[in-house]
A and B are shown apart, each in its own frame.
Chain A
């Protein structure tokens, strides 16, 4: 992402690279020292570099943003996973399920993000795409509502 920011931007490249590299350094330091409180600041630095590039841009929506968002999320998950203090091995299915969940979350981020960005860009992309974007937003809200309802049921069981 730092490299992408440096390559895509055409103004203040040095500043963008410096911010991104600062974030990367913090991330690396957090990974080596296993400091979970430092890790999000590293990601803030990396994201800040990208935000600077977008701010200095021409105002068009970056079409690669959903992929970058998915990669950013997966990198954050993998970073937190790597600093979990565990000197023993997990069961095979535990690792596989976790990886599958991670990949699914990244894929969902990319797909839903892409559809939402299409809607947000305001471009005339066709009724089909707009409908898909609306459907994605509605689906997201529905999932949240289902989970809220389920959590109330589960808390009711706990209290009982």
Chain B
């Protein structure tokens, strides 16, 4: 702890000195009475001062929580020396606020007596935080000296984004070779009826279609569609975001990404993740609950990093974008580089879907004729980009405050049902 004298010490010493000097010069014993308590208090404080020794521990009741959830934090003090007044401040990162308890607060710590200061925090925003940096300031009884210290007992805390409601998922056009929940075009062992054919050696008796056999006089068997899984890649555009106050386009994008990843993983699909922007982050597609935690942990590190570098798809490892994968792109369409990369994906034959996180509600309308024209031009440009996607056969749904993610997914699904992908 670093020690410093408060202005009060100098003031008291000065008052005492002036009072005693005046008493001597003016020969007034009464002034000695005025000066004496100031001198005594300053002298006692100077003689008594010592650096307090305190051990502090921080305990979080859990390491992972969801957005909006409450979290209990306990600050445990074990003072070897008593302190009459101790100011305590738990440094909180943006995204966490105190719901119950006082922070900062002033405590009295008795020698050898353990004190616990409970706080209840609310997580306002998703992210990876480290909580536990404590600022201490100890005062002596008369406030003449201060001892200050910063104690680092930070512990990791992961706040996961809340999930958006999604009714129906998009059905991938192509499936993979592993078992899953999607009815594949290929014929193999399965439940969904596909076709009938003539019996060949090796076919199982239970597949015999007795009605067709009776009609044709020879053995015919049923063929079924296989149930396969699919590869889904969630593509997050982090080149730019629109932000206003506490809202941004990145927050709903992350919530949607977490929701979609959880739903696809639940139906045994392989899900991968690409965060494409100023910084690159990717996860190879995989299945299971562990993959969901990997994806969400990767999302927690997502930030918008300003960069003027041109990004190409070649920077992404090939295995991150498996062929025939369904690519779900979540983008505010603010940066041309993201749009170009997505169109490049489409040109390479990927099954691409774009969910546009609308930034219009976050853009402040500026007054003035020129600014109005600039705003309208910007909106027209965005419509043109959307048109490019649609001409390439990529469905684009706009997700804004007036619609839900489920509605945007339904809009995209309807486009895919009407359109047919052609391969040249």
Whether A and B are associated in the same complex: the answer reads yes
Q: Which chain B residues lie closer than 8 Å to A91 at the CB level? A: 105-108
CB distance from A54 to the nearest CB of B (A): 5
Residue-wise, chain A 145-158 has the 8 Å CB interface mask toward B (1 for contact) of: 00110110011011
- The answer to the question of B15 belonging to the interface, with a C-beta cut-off of 8 Å to chain A, is yes
Known contacts A76-B38, A88-B102, A147-B48, A44 near B33 by CB under 8 Å: no
Segment 102-122 of B: residues with Cβ below 8 Å from A = 102-108
Q: Which chain B residues lie closer than 8 Å to A66 at the CB level? A: 33
Contact present for A88 and B106 (CB under 8 Å): yes
CA distance A70 to B37 in the complex (A): 8
Size class of the contact patch on chain A: 35 or more
Kindly specify which of B39-47, B300-308, B376-384 makes contact with the partner chain: B39-47
CA distance A120 to B105 in the complex (A): 46
- The answer to the question of B18 belonging to the interface, with a C-beta cut-off of 8 Å to chain A, is yes
Contact present for A40 and B11 (CB under 8 Å): yes
Closest to A146 in B: B47
27 residue pairs bridging A and B, Cβ less than 8 Å apart? A36-B8, A36-B11, A40-B12, A40-B14, A44-B18, A47-B19, A50-B34, A51-B22, A51-B28, A68-B34, A80-B8, A88-B102, A88-B106, A89-B105, A89-B106, A90-B105, A94-B107, A105-B41, A108-B37, A116-B32, A117-B30, A117-B33, A144-B40, A150-B48, A151-B48, A151-B50, A157-B50
Contact present for B102 and A97 (CB under 8 Å): no
Contact for B30 among A65, A80, A154, CB less than 8 A:
A65
CA distance A160 to B19 in the complex (A): 39
Closest to B103 in A: A88
Q: Which chain A residues lie closer than 8 Å to B18 at the CB level? A: 44, 47
- The answer to the question of A123 belonging to the interface, with a C-beta cut-off of 8 Å to chain B, is no
Q: Which chain A residues lie closer than 8 Å to B8 at the CB level? A: 36, 80
Q: Which chain B residues lie closer than 8 Å to A43 at the CB level? A: 15
Contact present for A109 and B15 (CB under 8 Å): no
Which B residues are within 8 Å of any A CB, using their own CB?
Answer: 6-8, 11-12, 14-15, 18-19, 22, 26, 28-34, 36-38, 40-41, 43-44, 47-51, 84-85, 87, 102-108, 141-143
CA distance A109 to B35 in the complex (A): 10
Q: Which chain B residues lie closer than 8 Å to A40 at the CB level? A: 11-12, 14-15
Q: Which chain A residues lie closer than 8 Å to B33 at the CB level? A: 65-66, 69, 109, 113, 116-117
Q: Which chain A residues lie closer than 8 Å to B105 at the CB level? A: 88-91
Contact present for A44 and B28 (CB under 8 Å): no
Known contacts A62-B30, A76-B38, A158 near B51 by CB under 8 Å: yes
Contact for B143 among A37, A80, A90, CB less than 8 A:
A80
- The answer to the question of A39 belonging to the interface, with a C-beta cut-off of 8 Å to chain B, is yes
CB distance from B142 to the nearest CB of A (A): 8
Q: Which chain A residues lie closer than 8 Å to B47 at the CB level? A: 144, 147-148, 150-151
Q: Which chain A residues lie closer than 8 Å to B6 at the CB level? A: 36
Contact present for A51 and B36 (CB under 8 Å): no
Segment 77-108 of A: residues with Cβ below 8 Å from B = 77, 80-81, 84, 86, 88-91, 93-94, 97-98, 101, 105, 108
**A-B interface, 3 closest residue pairs, ranked by CB to CB distance from nearest:** A90-B106, A65-B30, A36-B7
CA distance A69 to B85 in the complex (A): 26
Closest to A1 in B: B34
Contact present for A44 and B15 (CB under 8 Å): yes
Q: Which chain B residues lie closer than 8 Å to A93 at the CB level? A: 108
Closest to A36 in B: B7
Closest to B8 in A: A80
CA distance A121 to B29 in the complex (A): 8
CA distance A61 to B28 in the complex (A): 8
